[in-house]
Structure 1
């Protein structure tokens, strides 16, 4: 009972500090609820970054081969997680819309069905992954000394995929209800446990067996399983956020189709973003090593810069969904406009910092003079367009909240796959590596223009899809 009480006290203290228990998403000011929804998401993402860094640190101390195996395994893990993220968006959108409509019973039904569907999908994908992972790693060209380590790691992840998916569902369903503090607290506990377990299971400290890279996978799965258990306890009791019920988890084909309609485009959006970075390596790889190194540094800097925009997009997703559910279409649109403007201003200021202090930023990552010069050029091409990326992220969050996940996917994939990649290849063949950096700047601007133009088409008044499409949930 003591850990539960400690968790409850920590969560209460954070909720009081952030005042989330008194948030009104469908009335009153827009800035406060949006900030208070988004801030814990930023912290949650930072926890995930800390976990990734710690995991890489311990694996790197074990062996270089294990570190290389993680590099081969990561794209497959990310692909699986992207599928889970799509399903989680579907659940979050429907819970947000029903919550905003004041229909708690339908929100419970949507959450319960999403959890059940995610369990089934994760078990199927995990089973398939377990048996095909060795062939996939061989196809990707894993070296003989790396191959067996990567297979061991991926098979553990495949067997534990249900826990990874389930935890994503918990975070998203709570966010759809309007609670981002509780998932942040649970994530914190999971990350701390994962980091603590890593060396014991990898190196065989104390009474634990020496499991090597497989131990890192076991630590990840176990910590996520425990976090999911806590999350399910929160949702089954209904003490915080949305409640789930076993009676609502019976298979419902109509609802499963609705989850897929919303979730698959969201999965495509996430996967498309990741693939665009990987495919860009085909263009970058045509240039000398210093250019490749500068590209790696630049993309890592961008991932940190855009973290607030990603969090705000999730906050907008929740606010749009709840206001659309409540029939407050004008407020949903106003929240989207406010977020887009705020992100444009904030990230433009960050862009000024990135332009002026480009050298100190790049110097943090490398001391190679040639890489520093190229990295500065990258930053100075892209930094002036940071604000435009904030606009695209904000509006895409609003589209997802409106149930328009396909719209968000088309804009994201079009920006990266139709504009950025071809432009990078064509421009770099004419003006060299500067053409790659130019493609980032141009695609950021065009992505923002496309998102704004689509927003102007009055998305909100045609967005009431979840309430119409979901089967009626009746009380027992």
Structure 2
């Protein structure tokens, strides 16, 4: 494939109006993620109909499932940073090799992590303070989920290749289609219909497996055959080493940083568990709602890095600085509006996701406090992704450590000791305020040093 043909599958992000470019990239991601996250909430809703124990069991799985997903996210970040820089430098052939290597690494590493998680399932959830009556539900769900996570690795990293090439529309469609299929299959397998037996919480995991298997098949066809953004064959060992070295240099610290989040989440889940299964159920619903409330942040964390990587590769630090400043201002204003909406609708949302009044009351309390810090959390998340895009993975990892284990966990735990569950929620907000200030300082200092070195 000649370079002219290859360029048709990519988009140059080093030219044009910054705001217009970011908006063009982000809007499709938002739409795709709105649909995907909405389907995730539908999944939670169907599980909630099974009872509080099943909902609590799903809540306990979040830190563990996100650990596996975090490896995919980290490898996707490394893939996006490396391929985006190569695109900015015009090295298209090399980008194809690195894309193939990224997908192969993701498949191998996630398979190993999933196998370890399956073998150590009981000890892991015991450490998370899951009670004995929840363990059967957890085993039913995670037994299938670990197997399906291997297939999730391919569309997640594959979408990072597309975004690095400036295409955010196709990943949005893939995400939305996968989430939609999952949501459609949920009631069929959870509650049964005709010859299909009711499988309860296990059915939710089976629906996820089928959706991800189809998504993995399509992304391989799209990248290898239709777009020709990866090599349509398995790599040799020397090729895998060559392509994997740089991706892992950024991807492993990024994965480690992302894995710190579920570790911190596991600690917080264990703390919340001291307040009972109702509190854990409310905490789980709140975390799912956080994904919806932060959807613009999550979308921009996928669209800002390719922009930064390409301009970083093209040696245009001023465009990087302007894009970062514009994004931070927007996200703070946007998330304040989101908080006000959630505050007004907190009672209604709580009633939708809880059958028991105590759970509903705790969900409402969560919604009245925690979302106030989402804008500041967005500053941290986008700064972290920007540092990775500028090939500073260890600095991004340090920022994650500061965020979670200097501020988030300690401040929240102190809040819970002093003011119970309400104090824990306020601790989340205070931690985000402190970390946002640190994040802004680190980014400005890093960008100045990068521009000076150049």
After TM superposition, the score normalised by the length of structure 2 is 0.82
8 Å CA contact retained: 1:112, 1:244: yes
Structure 1: 5+ residue stretches without partners: 1-19, 464-476
Contact 2:75–2:251 (8 Å) recurs in 1: yes
Pair 1:201–1:343, CA change in 2 (3 A): closer
CA separation in 2, counterparts of 1:369 and 1:134? 29
Q: 1:155 aligns with which of 103, 118, 143?
A: 143
* CA–CA separation in structure 2 for the residues paired with 1:212 and 1:460: 55
Is residue 2:234 matched to residue 1:244? no
Q: Is the 8 Å Cα contact of residues 10 and 166 (structure 2) preserved in structure 1?
A: no
Check 1:134–1:22 CA distance in 2 against 1; reply closer, same or farther (3 A cut): closer
Cα displacement (A) at 1:208: 3.7
Match of 2:382 in 1: 394
- Cα deviation, residue 462, structure 1: 4.2
Mapped pair 1:275 → 2:275:
no
Match of 2:219 among 204, 222, 231: 231
Offset at residue 64 of structure 1 (A): 6.2
Q: 1:415 to 1:135 in 2, by over 3 A?
A: closer
**Highest relative contact order (Cα 8 Å, sep 6+), 1 or 2?**
2
Q: Distance in 2 between matches of 1:93 and 1:320?
A: 9
For residue 365 of structure 1, what is the aligned residue in structure 2? Answer: 350
Q: Within 2, Cα distance between the matches of 1:350 and 1:218? A: 33
- Asked if residue 313 in structure 1 is aligned to residue 301 in structure 2, the reply is yes
CA distance in structure 2 between the partners assigned to 1:145 and 1:371 by the alignment: 22
**1:324 is aligned to 2:275:** no
Q: How far does residue 429 in structure 1 lie from its aligned partner after superposition?
A: 4.5
Larger Rg: 1
Q: CA RMSD in A?
A: 3.7
Query: 2:205 aligns to what?
Result: 217
What does residue 5 of structure 2 align with? none
Residue ranges of structure 2 left out of the alignment (5+ in a row): 1-7
1:350: how far off? 4.1
- Alignment-derived partner of residue 342 in structure 1: 330
- Asked if structure 1 preserves the Cα contact closer than 8 Å seen for 2:12 and 2:166, the reply is no
CA-CA distance at 1:410 after TM superposition: 1.9
Equivalent position of 1:78 in the other structure? 66
- What is the Cα deviation at residue 164 of structure 1? 1.2
Aligned position for 1:96 = 84
Distance 1:114 1:412, change over 3 A: same
CA 1:449 to 1:368, structure 2 compared with 1: closer, same or farther past 3 Å? same
The answer as to whether partners of 1:293 and 1:371 remain within 8 angstroms in 2 is no
Q: Which moved more, 1:390-399 or 1:161-170?
A: 390-399
**Equivalent pair of 1:297/1:375 in contact (CA under 8 Å):** no
Distance 1:33 1:182 in 2: 16
Question: What is the Cα deviation at residue 237 of structure 1?
Answer: 1.8
1:74 deviation in Å? 3.6
Counterpart Cα distance in 2 of 1:431 and 1:145:
29
Q: Does 1:47 align with 2:35?
A: yes
Alignment: residue pair count: 440
Structure 2 Cα separation of the partners of residues 21 and 416 of structure 1: 38
- Output one character per residue of 1:147-202: Cα deviation in whole Å (capped at 9) or x when no partner: 34432432222233321111211122211111111112122222222222233334
Structure 2 counterpart SS, 1:364: helix
Quote the residue 2:166 is aligned against.
Answer: 178
Aligned partner of 1:12 in structure 2 is: none
1:126 to 100, 114, 119: 114
1:187 is the counterpart of 2:175: yes
* SS of equivalent residue, structure 2 residue 120: helix
CA positional deviation for 1:414: 0.9
Q: 1:376 to 1:213 in 2, by over 3 A?
A: closer
Deviation at 1:328, TM superposition (A): 1.8
State the 1:77 CA deviation. 1.9
